[in-house]
Every structure is written in structure tokens, then in C-alpha cells.
């Protein structure tokens, strides 16, 4: 069975505290969603502002393949705003639970019923496809919920949506009211589940198993409070887990990680490392037992292949590391220690790990060079010029000159501080030359006093999703930060070079 994916990143997702997308960014995300293969995009809430209307009009004029929808309360002004934006599809809602009726709307059930009917009839008179939502459906009196769904169906609604507005339902109960809605309306049913108790995806799946045909979701699960059902989790669960029947979507799953990063960047909402499917650690391994198993057969400790969702697996070394994982990581740099050397490297790694620290890729390679007596590892990136200027009343700026594989590159950029300016300047060069991005930056002080040492750890990623972690220690935060990035660049470019050589051979 085909499940319809209704994406509300641009509406419910943007309602996340602290998120505000410009019209241009909303258009760019809409294009990415269309490329991903979503069936419908909730473009926004037209009546709330002129900027919102501008964004929606830009999206409606972009010739996208997905159906485009706008949100509206049950009044003519909201519905007219949807029409004025060029949309042909409205998602109209009114709260139906007793707590909303008493404390928010100050209306009776009969008054709410009347408003719902009138809005659906008016929207249909304006030529719109209508999806009706009973806000807070899972806390609504069950008989009244069936009554209002029946009434809006008679008024001409095309679809019914069941919102679990505060994530209050269980999978068992949401399945029951989904069956109620199907019986009362015979219309396509959508699930709109929030994640306040961590059950959004489970509830959406339960509704689908009960006969719903559509799920409202957001990229990375962003949304108000604890967020919405996560698109990537729902889609992969439907595709990969065992159910009584098979489910399909139109989503191009290999694009999931790419759009996750894109939305995270534009929204300013980082993805937690341990998030399913698209979290940084979702395909990362440190434990020696797990690493050995994955190297023998990835399915031992991975439920799906990372490539399916546009990812690569990666290994971290630390106190839980094993010889197989370390050997595999060094192999990526063309380093092949013998059995005794590998044992010595593992011992040194574990000693560092016992102090509570992770061993970066650069440190691992350095340890291997020390044990193997080989310090001739090629440096493809050399820092040949560097200056930074800062002061009261002046925005900090930095000048960087890099020699990358024999070619000189320079850049100047500004930042909120000297470190930010320096990393921005480096990023300017790497964006155009080697497509290396600085993914993570951490600063720690490791000694006290006026001459305190700082420890900078960075994580870099290239366009092929090769990742490298690097650490540098020094007295000057700016120089130490730059050195950590340069060391990481050398390792990630070496890793890429080794892969290219193997591919050519």
C-alpha cells in the first residue's frame, strides 16, 4: 500500500521556538522537499503575515510536483488568504476537546460544529480541496469526534486529519479513533502526531495500520515543543520493518541525510547525535565487539545499510576500541601495521581512552606513525600565511594563505570573534577547492592560570561524507583552532587520495 507523505516542515516545523525562515529559505526548502518526493507540502499559514504570504506565493510559482497546501482556521478571512496566495488546497482546523472549548475558544460543542461546517462549505465554494483537522482530537470526547467528522464530510470535506496535538495518545487508542473516522466518513484519513512522549512515529504508524492513508511529518521531527513525527524515521520504519502488509512511499531515501543537514542549517536547529536514521552517531561505532561484527557483516549491528539514507558508516577509537576497528581506520589512510604494531597502537589508544577522552583520527595516525617509526606521511595542506585583527569597535577579520597540493590559495573573512573569522576564512577556501566543511568545533581549557593551555577538537566532512576528527593543544586559542583544522584537512584529503588510488587500481 502507498502511504501519502504530507510534509509540514514549513508550517508546523517553523513553529519551533526560535525558528524563523525567510521567504527565500522557505522556497529553497520547498524545492528540496519536492526533490525528496513528498506528496504534499504545507507551505505555511498565509494569514499570519505579509512575509508568510510572500513565501507561499514564491512556492506556488515554482512549478513543483508536490501538492501545495495552506493552513487556515475555520473562518473566511483565513480561507481567503489561502486562495489569495494561489493555493488550491486548504488544511482547516478547529479545536474539539473540552479543555480547548472551555479555556481557549469559549464555545460549546454545537458552536464548534457549526463553525466547522460553515468553513468547509465556504472553502469548497472557493474551489479548494479541503482537509479538515479536529485539533486535539486525541483528547476529544470520542462521540463528539465522530459527530464532527461526519458533519464536515457531509459539508464536502475531501480529507480528514486526526491531530495528536500534545502527543497524548497511545498507539492503541489512536488506532481506535482512526477506525472511528474511517467508519464515519469513508474519506482518506491523515495522522498528525506530536512527540511529547516520544510516540509520534509509533502513533502515526499505528494509525496507518488501522487504515489511515497519510502521515503529516517534518524533517528531523522539528516542531512545537518536542516536535512532530519525523519524516525520515517514519519513512524508513514503513519501508524496513516487518508489518502484516508492506508499505511504500514516494520518498527518495538516499536524499534523507542531505535534506536533514540542509533544514538543520537553515532552521538553526541542530540534530541530536543519537537521533535515529540521520543523527551523527546513527551509523557510528566504537565498541570493539560491534566494530568487529560490522566489519564482518554490517547487518550484525546495523539494521539498514547507511547508503540507503545517504550516509556512510564511521568508526571512533577510544577505550572500547578493538584491533579490527583500528586496523580498518588506519587502512583508510593507507597505513598497514603488522600484528605486533597494531597491538602497541591499541594499547596506547586504550590508555588515552581510560582518561575519558576520545582519540581523534589525527591522534590515531600520529600514534601509528610513532609506533611504526614512520613520520613521512604526506601533508597535502600547508599553512603558509596567517594574520588576524580584532579590537573594540572593529569586526574581527582574518587572512589565511594555504598551500593545497602545491597550489596557493588565499582568503579573508570576518566573524563574531577572531576564531570565527579564521575558520570562516579557511572555510572560504575549502568550499571552492576541496569541499571540506567544518561540522563541529569544541574548545576546552586543560590548565589554569594566565598561560592556560586550550584544547580544540574539530570534526570535518567532505562532499563524499568522509569524516575526520582532529585535536590541537596550545596557548593561543586562534592558532590552536587553525592548526586543528589544518591537521584535519590533511587527514581527510589523504583519506580521499587513498580511496582514489584504490579505485583506479
Is there a contact between 342 and 327 (Cβ–Cβ < 8 Å)? yes
Predicted confidence band at 449 (pLDDT cuts at 50, 70, 90)?
A: low
Is there a contact between 452 and 445 (Cβ–Cβ < 8 Å)? yes
pLDDT in tens, 388-410: 988 777 789 999 999 888 889 99
Note the pLDDT of residue 450: 54
What is the 3 state secondary structure string of 20-66? CCCHHHHHHHHHHHHHHCCCEEEEECHHHCHHHHHHHHHHHCCCCCC
Is this structure's pTM higher than 0.85?
Answer: no
pLDDT greater than 80 at residue 290? no
Predicted confidence band at 376 (pLDDT cuts at 50, 70, 90)?
A: low
Note the pLDDT of residue 440: 82
DSSP string, 156-221: T-SEEEEEETTS---HHHHHHHHHHHHHHH-S-EEEEEB-TTS-HHHHHHHHHHTT--EEEEBGGG
Nearest of 193, 197, 259, 205 to residue 229 by alpha carbon: 193
Predicted confidence band at 469 (pLDDT cuts at 50, 70, 90)?
A: confident
Is there a contact between 336 and 365 (Cβ–Cβ < 8 Å)? no
pLDDT in tens, 292-328: 677 778 878 889 999 999 988 877 777 777 888 888 8
Nearest of 216, 212, 135 to residue 168 by alpha carbon: 135
Task: Supply the mean pLDDT for the chain.
Answer: 90
Q: Quote the CA–CA distance of 286 and 364 in Å, as a whole number.
A: 14
Q: Where are the beta strands (DSSP E) in 66-112?
A: 67-73, 89-95
Q: Quote the CA–CA distance of 297 and 324 in Å, as a whole number.
A: 13
Which of 37-46, 52-61, 81-90, 275-284 bottoms out in mean pLDDT, i.e. has the lowest? 275-284
Note the pLDDT of residue 155: 98
pLDDT in tens, 259-268: 999 999 999 9
Q: Quote the CA–CA distance of 333 and 499 in Å, as a whole number.
A: 9
For residue 63, the tally of other CB atoms under 10 A from its CB is 6
Grouping H, G, I as helix, E, B as strand and the rest as coil, residue 126 is coil
Task: Answer positive or negative: Cα dihedral of 251, 254, 260, 263.
Answer: negative
pLDDT in tens, 139-149: 999 999 999 99
Distances (CA, A) of 277 to 129, 183, 333: 34, 35, 27
- Grid coordinates representing 456? 580544540
Nearest of 232, 234, 169 to residue 197 by alpha carbon: 169
Note the pLDDT of residue 188: 98
Q: How many CA atoms lie within 13 A of 55 on its CB side?
A: 29
Better-predicted residue by pLDDT, 73 or 361: 73
Nearest of 14, 166, 47, 10 to residue 100 by alpha carbon: 166
Note the pLDDT of residue 287: 65
Note the pLDDT of residue 289: 67
Percent of the chain with pLDDT over 90: 61
Q: Tell me, what DSSP letter sits at residue 453?
A: -
Predicted confidence band at 42 (pLDDT cuts at 50, 70, 90)?
A: very high
For residue 397, the tally of other CB atoms under 10 A from its CB is 18
Better-predicted residue by pLDDT, 438 or 27: 27
pLDDT greater than 60 at residue 36? yes
Note the pLDDT of residue 324: 82
DSSP string, 295-324: HH-GGGT-SS-GGGGT---EE-BSTT--HH
- Grid coordinates representing 465? 561524507
Note the pLDDT of residue 473: 86
Q: Tell me, what DSSP letter sits at residue 254?
A: G
Residues contacting 168, CB < 8 A, separation 6+? 138, 139, 196, 197
Predicted confidence band at 372 (pLDDT cuts at 50, 70, 90)?
A: confident
Is there a contact between 2 and 249 (Cβ–Cβ < 8 Å)? yes
What's the rounded mean pLDDT across residues 236-254? 95
Note the pLDDT of residue 452: 67
Going along the chain from its start, the domains and CATH numbers come out as 4-267 (3.20.20.70), 284-372 (1.10.238), 381-504 (3.30.160.270)
Q: Quote the CA–CA distance of 493 and 468 in Å, as a whole number.
A: 10
Residue 220 Ramachandran class (φ > 0 left, ψ -120 to 50 alpha, else beta): left
Is there a contact between 49 and 14 (Cβ–Cβ < 8 Å)? no
What's the rounded mean pLDDT across residues 49-72? 98
pLDDT greater than 90 at residue 126? yes
pLDDT greater than 70 at residue 352? yes
Better-predicted residue by pLDDT, 84 or 373: 84
Note the pLDDT of residue 208: 98
Amino acid at each position: 500500500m502507498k502511504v501519502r507523505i504530507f510534509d509540514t516542515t514549513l508550517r508546523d516545523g517553523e513553529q519551533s521556538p526560535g525558528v524563523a525562515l525567510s521567504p527565500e529559505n522557505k522556497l529553497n526548502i520547498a524545492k528540496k522537499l519536492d526533490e525528496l518526493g513528498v506528496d504534499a507540502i504545507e507551505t505555511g499559514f498565509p494569514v499570519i503575515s505579509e512575509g508568510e504570504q510572500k513565501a507561499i506565493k514564491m512556492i506556488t510559482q515554482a512549478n513543483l510536483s508536490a501538492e501545495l497546501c495552506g493552513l487556515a482556521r475555520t473562518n473566511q478571512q483565513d480561507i481567503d488568504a489561502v486562495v489569495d496566495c494561489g493555493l488550491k488546497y486548504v488544511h482547516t482546523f478547529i479545536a474539539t476537546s473540552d479543555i480547548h472549548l472551555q479555556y481557549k475558544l469559549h464555545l460549546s460543542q454545537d458552536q464548534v460544529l457549526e463553525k466547522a461546517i460553515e468553513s468547509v462549505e465556504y472553502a469548497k465554494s472557493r474551489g479548494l480541496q479541503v482537509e479538515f483537522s479536529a485539533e486535539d482530537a486525541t483528547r476529544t470526547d470520542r462521540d463528539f469526534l465522530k459527530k464532527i467528522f461526519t458533519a464536515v464530510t457531509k459539508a464536502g470535506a475531501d480529507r480528514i486529519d486526526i491531530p495528536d496535538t500534545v502527543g497524548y495518545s497511545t498507539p492503541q487508542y489512536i488506532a481506535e479513533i482512526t477506525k472511528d473516522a474511517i467508519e464515519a466518513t469513508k474519506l482518506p484519513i491523515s495522522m498528525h502526531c506530536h512527540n511529547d512522549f516520544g510516540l509520534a512515529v509509533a502513533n502515526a504508524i499505528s494509525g496507518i495500520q488501522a487504515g489511515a492513508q497519510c502521515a503529516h511529518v517534518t524533517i528531523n521531527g522539528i516542531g512545537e515543543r518536542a516536535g512532530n513525527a519525523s519524516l525520515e524515521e517514519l519513512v524508513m520504519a514503513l519501508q524496513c520493518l516487518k508489518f502484516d502488509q508492506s508499505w511504500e512511499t514516494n520518498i527518495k531515501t538516499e536524499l534523507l541525510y542531505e535534506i536533514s543537514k540542509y533544514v538543520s542549517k537553515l532552521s538553526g536547529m541542530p540534530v541530536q547525535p543519537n537521533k535515529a536514521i540521520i543523527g551523527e552517531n546513527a551509523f557510528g561505532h566504537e565498541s570493539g565487539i560491534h566494530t568487529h561484527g560490522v566489519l564482518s557483516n554490517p547487518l550484525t549491528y546495523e539494521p539498514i545499510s547507511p547508503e540507503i539514507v545517504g550516509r556512510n558508516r564511521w568508526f571512533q577509537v577510544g577505550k572500547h576500541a578493538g584491533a579490527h576497528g583500528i586496523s580498518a581506520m588506519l587502512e583508510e589512510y593507507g597505513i598497514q601495521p603488522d600484528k605486533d604494531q597494531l597491538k602497541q597502537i591499541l594499547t596506547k589508544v586504550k590508555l588515552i581512552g581510560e582518561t575519558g577522552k576520545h582519540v581523534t583520527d589525527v591522534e590515531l595516525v600520529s600514534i601509528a606513525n610513532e609506533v611504526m617509526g614512520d613520520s613521512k606521511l604526506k601533508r597535502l595542506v600547508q599553512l603558509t600565511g596567517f594574520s588576524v585583527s580584532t579590537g573594540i569597535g572593529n569586526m574581527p577579520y582574518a587572512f589565511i594563505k594555504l598551500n593545497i597540493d602545491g597550489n596557493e590559495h588565499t582568503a579573508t573573512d570576518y566573524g563574531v570573534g577572531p576564531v570565527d573569522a579564521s575558520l570562516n576564512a579557511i572555510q572560504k577556501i575549502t568550499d571552492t577547492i576541496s569541499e571540506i566543511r567544518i561540522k563541529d568545533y569544541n574548545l576546552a581549557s586543560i590548565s589554569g592560570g594566565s598561560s592556560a593551555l586550550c584544547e580544540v577538537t574539530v570534526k570535518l566532512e567532505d562532499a563524499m561524507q568522509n569524516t575526520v576528527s582532529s585535536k590541537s593543544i596550545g596557548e593561543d586559542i586562534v592558532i590552536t583552532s587553525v592548526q586543528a583544522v589544518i591537521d584535519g584537512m590533511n587527514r581527510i584529503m589523504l583519506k580521499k587520495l587513498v580511496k582514489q588510488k584504490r579505485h583506479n587500481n
